[in-house]
Chains A and B, each alone.
Chain A
Amino acid sequence: MTLLAASSSPALPLSVVAVLAALAALSGYALLCAVSPFARCKPCEGNGKTRKRGTSPKRGWKTCRRCKGNGLRLRIGRRLFHTTRATGEATRRLHKAGTR
């Protein structure tokens, strides 16, 4: 009952607010993906090099395997965008070829 009362007291129901917030976050992330497709590489924290386990901080650096040394990775959102678009185009091409 209290939950109901609490949710009905603001101008918008809580669920709507939640959906709106999610949408805002999603669009913000989408914008980020569009403007800056690359983010810092996680394993090397953008350094491009990782430390060998159990070695001294001065010597044991090696090139990050994930980012191959440039310290950047494609954002997941951007990658998703690319793959969906690629598959979409592929199916369109296939369809076009099929109707020919």
Chain B
Amino acid sequence: MNHEELSPADDPSETDRPGESDEGAAVLPFRVRFRKNSAAAPVGEDGSVYVDPDEIELPDDEGTDDEDEGPREGELVDPPPSKDVLTPAEKRAAKSAARKPVLPEWARSTDEFKAVATWAAGHYCMVSAYHAVRAPLYVGKVAVYAPRGAWRWSNGVRRWVFDSEGAPFRAAAARDEDIEEYLKLTRVRNARVRLRLIVATIAATVLIVAGTLLAVALSSFLWWSTVVAVLMLLGQVGMPADQRLIDPARVRFRHRKLSADIVTRAFVAAGLTRPDQGLTFPRPITQEGNGWRVVLDLPFGKTFTHALKAQEQIASGLDAAMTQVFLDRDPSSARRVSMWVAKEDPLAVPVGKSPLITTDRVDFWKPFPWGRDERGNEVMVTMLWLSLLIGAVPRQGKTFSARTIALAAALDPHVRLYVFDGKASPDWRKFDKVAHRIGFGIAPYNGIDPVKVLIAALRELKADVESRYQRLSELPVSVCPEGKLTPELSRNKSLNMPLTLVVVDEVQEYLQHPEHGGEILDLLVYLARVAPAVGVSLETSTQKPDDKACPSVLRDQHQARFSLRVGSWQVSDVVLGAGSYSEGLDASRLLKSHKGVGLLKGMSDDSGIVRTYLVTGEDADRVLTRARALREQEGTLSGSAAGEVQPAGEASDLLADVAAVMPATAAKLWSETVVDRLAELRPEIYGPWAEMEQKAKATQLATALKPYGIETGQVWLKTEDGSNPNRRGVKREEVLAAMAARKRSAS
């Protein structure tokens, strides 16, 4: 367009317009009302092109570009529809995508079909059994309610015959003394009653005749079934409105078929949309697994987070349990919600035995199966480069879920296992077949203090981790490209850097130890923080995730969290990490029946429900036996499992050590001999004692043994040179008696 030609001053068609100055262009008329017309008719009556005054460039506008790209008043906000038109190919593609499959999803996939068929068979078997058991109850109900039904029914017939519906109108006419109306109504009624009486008489005659004929003609079985059917019908009529003759086998899940209407109703009830707004469904509702997949778009401005907060109301609106409704974020839009509604509570359904039970070998470098999600998809996890915290109230399957991971580690012969169980439960006992270091409970047993074994093990791990960092940085780049552990390096026995899994079950028992709790906490925090990067993973579990029993300084170091059922959403947040609740992760919503079911966070990008596989004690034993055989074969059995005596922490068990250095052949020993032998046994602890003088040695031992109630008295022993055979010494029986006494008091 040439604006020079079309300026208002030059255009004769514009001169008659009000408010227009002759010079033009200086004053812009306010012509909002004409805008519509101008857009519709750009050509004036005289053939000249009509130009909206608002669109005329001002003379002082130096712009030479004709395409004004800025927004202008009066322009349509939406782009013209022509720009949106799809190409024919795009149209075809869109239509193809919108096509529904010939057969539903479940009929095409064998697995799905099997699942549906199994469900249907099981469901109807259950329903039949349910009703068979209740048959006597139904008979009783019929006996009670059939007479009442008969009365109600005959009353109904009477009301119909004598036109009871008309009675209120007749009464009204009488009340108003509208005699004309009353007479009219009465005439109508009389005619009606006459006709109905005839019909009723005929019907009654037919019924009686037919009943007699049937009684004669039908076999007695058919006759009686007819009678039973009639009685049941009458019983149903006689039932109170809130009862039914045949109980439904379960409270009816009203949306057998989940429809868009039901979903919309639920979202309206949850306050996420208004009835006039509705929802949009970009995809039809389909069956998926044992439930329905619904993809929907909330109204503009409502987000997935809103839906998440209203999950309970949505569940109520769908007439389902909250555990049946799962909301997933859809990455394509903030207002799009992908919802999965389970037909039954999927979390209460046991997930079955772990495939690990029948697996020969696991590669711990790769993810291994741990459980299934709510839809039955397998959940693969890996403990590489991370530490895992498991929290739950007792008896919810915490130890079992932790053990399944440890079993996977056991089945990889190149994984070194450290297993400590603060509760000394039988669940972890069998790990002594494979574990490098192992300890149960916190009370000393058999002369071994598990707390000290744990301290020694953790110190050993700390030293190992430090050395790994050092050695990995020193390795040539060709062997260790990124300064990180590789599968090859971890399996190289000469390097001694195997993947290591440290399991501490019921960690609060150790952390609350009055003497060593602090040191254990420091060591665990260190390990959880730096060890995973060099292939040493930590798995701790606790039933008391509070700050006293399991401080946040330790919890926060765990990247991965798994929370089974806990008491409240606050505890759930403690286990899963702050802010989990607002993300929709709340383990307190899990029920007591949801054994082994928990929320996993931080293991991979998405978090969600894991129903962990079951491994019973027997199965675990079998797996561990196989794991030990595997390790023997590979020559990787080490530490405790290989029969090595586990080192105890600094304050080692003197009594046990003394007993160890006094062979059964020696009933008594001089103190100095005992000290020398102790120094040989544990030079790092008793070495300084051996360097003392003879007298000092005896005094040292006497002081050390005094707390155990052992007195070092004069002991006579034969000597080669005969010099002073009478010295202070220890009697073996006293040591054994002291150990027995300690064992008694401990148990």
The interface of chain A, by Cβ under 8 A from chain B, is: 37-38, 67, 70, 72, 74, 78, 82
CA distance A67 to B179 in the complex (A): 9
CA distance A38 to B171 in the complex (A): 11
Residues of chain A within 8 A of B175, CB atoms compared: 82
How many interface contacts (CB-CB < 8 Å) are there between A and B? 16
Min CB gap A47→B, angstroms: 14
Within 8 A of A (CB), among B158-190: 171, 174-175, 177, 179-180, 182-183
CA distance A96 to B283 in the complex (A): 53
Q: Which 4 residue pairs of A and B lie closest in terms of their CB atoms, listed nearest first?
A: A37-B174, A70-B179, A82-B175, A72-B179
CA distance A67 to B180 in the complex (A): 11
CA distance A82 to B171 in the complex (A): 10
14 contacts between A and B (CB under 8 A): A37-B171, A37-B174, A37-B182, A38-B179, A38-B182, A67-B179, A70-B180, A70-B183, A72-B179, A74-B174, A74-B177, A78-B174, A82-B174, A82-B175
Min CB gap A31→B, angstroms: 14
> Given A37-B174, A70-B180, A82-B175, list of 9 further CB < 8 A pairs?
A37-B182, A38-B174, A38-B182, A67-B179, A70-B179, A70-B183, A72-B179, A74-B174, A78-B174
Residues of chain B within 8 A of A70, CB atoms compared: 179-180, 183
Residues of chain B within 8 A of A78, CB atoms compared: 174
CA distance A45 to B306 in the complex (A): 80
CA distance A72 to B177 in the complex (A): 10
Q: SS class of chain A's interface: helix, strand, loop or mixed? A: mixed
Q: Which residue of B lies closest to A83 (CB)?
A: B175
Min CB gap A70→B, angstroms: 5
Chain B 174-209 interface mask (CB, 8 Å, partner A; 1/0): 110101101100000000000000000000000000
Q: SS class of chain B's interface: helix, strand, loop or mixed? A: helix
Min CB gap B172→A, angstroms: 10
CA distance A98 to B303 in the complex (A): 48
CA distance A97 to B178 in the complex (A): 30
Min CB gap A46→B, angstroms: 12
Q: Which residue of A lies closest to B177 (CB)?
A: A74
Min CB gap B177→A, angstroms: 5
Residues of chain A within 8 A of B183, CB atoms compared: 70
CA distance A67 to B174 in the complex (A): 14
Residues of chain A within 8 A of B180, CB atoms compared: 70
Q: Which residue of B lies closest to A82 (CB)?
A: B175
Q: Which residue of B lies closest to A33 (CB)?
A: B174
Min CB gap B131→A, angstroms: 48
CA distance A37 to B173 in the complex (A): 10
Q: Which of B171, B177, B180 has the most CB of A within 10 A?
A: B177
Residues of chain A within 8 A of B182, CB atoms compared: 37-38
Min CB gap B175→A, angstroms: 5
CA distance A78 to B182 in the complex (A): 14
Residues of chain A within 8 A of B179, CB atoms compared: 38, 67, 70, 72
Q: Which residue of A lies closest to B170 (CB)?
A: A37
CA distance A82 to B177 in the complex (A): 10
Min CB gap A23→B, angstroms: 24
Min CB gap A35→B, angstroms: 10
CA distance A72 to B171 in the complex (A): 15
Residues of chain B within 8 A of A82, CB atoms compared: 174-175
Min CB gap B690→A, angstroms: 100
CA distance A37 to B169 in the complex (A): 13
Residues of chain A within 8 A of B177, CB atoms compared: 74
CA distance A38 to B425 in the complex (A): 93
Q: Which of B171, B174, B180, B182 has the most CB of A within 10 A?
A: B174
Min CB gap B187→A, angstroms: 14
CA distance A100 to B183 in the complex (A): 41
Within 8 A of A (CB), among B129-177: 171, 174-175, 177
CA distance A74 to B179 in the complex (A): 9
Residues of chain B within 8 A of A38, CB atoms compared: 174, 179, 182
Q: Which residue of A lies closest to B176 (CB)?
A: A82
CA distance A30 to B124 in the complex (A): 59
